[in-house]
């Protein structure tokens, strides 16, 4: 069993949160590094995506404040690892994992967890 000795955990999704696909509706938004596509390679798959600079900076700020940073994705831990490495943010991420399929709790997530979406701060 592994115990995380930090009571301040923050989770970041990968797709449409840390990165945006270049054909996305936000392609021309100021939130993304316009000329800064990054290449991601995983096994026999390769693609180019845009880093979401606002969320990446938010991740770094949370880490600087002592938060335990988890990066998760429904696309699986290997995709999460490939993206984190391509973004060069390994030093700010504590754990990479596949997004949970379910959680069992007496409370709904919105009763105990803050949801920050896209441009929300």
CA 113 – CA 51 distance, rounded (Å): 25
Beta-bridge partner residues of 21: 49
**95-98 and 68-73 strand pairing:** parallel
Residue 70 neighbours by CB distance under 10 Å: 17
Query: Sign of dihedral through CA atoms 11, 14, 18, 23?
Result: negative
CA 86 – CA 69 distance, rounded (Å): 17
All domains in the chain, ordered by first residue: 9-18+53-111 (3.40.50.1000)
pLDDT in tens, the chain (121 residues): 999 999 999 999 999 999 988 764 444 555 554 567 888 888 888 888 889 999 999 999 999 999 999 999 999 999 999 999 999 999 999 999 999 999 999 999 889 988 887 554 4
CA 121 distance to own-chain centroid: 15
Beta-bridge partner residues of 9: 68
């Amino acid at each position: 069993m592994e115990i995380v000795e930090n009571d301040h955990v923050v989770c970041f999704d990968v797709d449409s949160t840390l990165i945006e696909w270049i054909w996305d509706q936000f392609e021309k938004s100021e939130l993304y590094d316009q000329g800064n596509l990054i290449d991601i390679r995983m096994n026999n798959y390769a693609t180019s995506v845009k880093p979401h600079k606002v969320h990446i900076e938010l991740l770094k700020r949370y880490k600087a404040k002592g938060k335990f940073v988890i990066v998760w994705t429904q696309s699986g831990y290997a995709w999460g690892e490939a993206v984190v490495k391509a973004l060069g943010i390994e030093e700010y991420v504590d754990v990479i994992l596949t997004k949970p399929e379910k959680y069992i709790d007496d409370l709904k997530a919105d009763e105990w967890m803050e949801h920050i979406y896209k441009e929300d701060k």
